[in-house]
Amino acid sequence: MPDTSPLFPPITPRRQGMLAVDDLHTIYWEEVGNPDGMPVIFLHGGPGAGLSPQHRRFFDPDHYRVILFDQRGAGKSTPLGECQANTTQLLVEDIERLRELFGISQWLVFGGSWGSTLALAYGQAHPERCLGFVLRGIFLCTQAEIDWFIHGVQWFYPELYEEFIAPIPLAERGNLLQAYVDRIMSDNPDVYWPAVRAWSRFEGRRVFLLPQPDEASSDALDLGVGRLESHYMANLGFFTDDQLIRDMGRIAHLPAVIVQGRYDVICPPLSAHRLHGAWPGAVLKMIPDAGHGALEQGIARALVAATEQFRRHGRFE
37: domain CATH number? 3.40.50.1820
Q: SS3 for 211?
A: coil
Amino acid at 259: V
Q: What is the mean pLDDT of residues 291-296?
A: 96
Whether the pLDDT of residue 106 is over 90: the answer is: yes
113 tagged catalytic:
yes
Choice among 60, 70, 264, 271 that is catalytic: 264
Q: Say if residue 231 is in the same domain as residue 270.
A: no
Whether the pLDDT of residue 199 is over 60: the answer is: yes
Q: What is the pLDDT of residue 315?
A: 86
Q: SS3 for 133?
A: strand
**What string of DSSP letters covers 225-283?**
HHHHHHHHHHTGGG--TTHHHHTGGGTTTS-EEEEEETT-SSS-HHHHHHHHHH-TTSE
Q: Which domain holds residue 177?
A: 144-237
Q: What is the pLDDT of residue 5?
A: 85
Share of the chain above pLDDT 70, in %: 98
276 tagged catalytic:
no
Q: What is the pLDDT of residue 215?
A: 59
C-alpha to C-alpha distance for 317 and 313, rounded to whole angstroms: 10
Q: What is the mean pLDDT of residues 194-212?
A: 92
Choice among 70, 94, 113, 116 that is catalytic: 113
Report the 10 Å Cβ neighbour count for 207: 20
Q: What is the mean pLDDT of residues 165-191?
A: 97
- Residue 8 inside a domain? The answer is no
Cβ atoms of residues 298 and 287 within 8 Å: yes
Confidence category of residue 317, pLDDT binned at 50, 70, 90: confident
Which of 237, 262, 297 is the last residue in one of the domains? Answer: 237
Q: What is the pLDDT of residue 217?
A: 65
φ, ψ dihedrals at 300, nearest 5°: -60, -40
- Residue 7 inside a domain? The answer is no
Q: Say if residue 94 is in the same domain as residue 153.
A: no
70 tagged catalytic:
no
Q: What is the pLDDT of residue 144?
A: 97
Q: Say if residue 296 is in the same domain as residue 194.
A: no
Q: Say if residue 131 is in the same domain as residue 251.
A: yes
- Residue 6 inside a domain? The answer is no
Whether the pLDDT of residue 47 is over 60: the answer is: yes
Which of 222, 237, 252 is the last residue in one of the domains? Answer: 237
**Which helix (DSSP H) or strand (DSSP E) does residue 292 occupy?**
none
Q: What is the pLDDT of residue 216?
A: 55
Q: What is the pLDDT of residue 237?
A: 98
pTM assigned to the model: 0.96
Q: Say if residue 154 is in the same domain as residue 225.
A: yes
Confidence category of residue 147, pLDDT binned at 50, 70, 90: very high
Whether the pLDDT of residue 16 is over 80: the answer is: yes
Q: Mean pLDDT of all residues in the chain?
A: 96
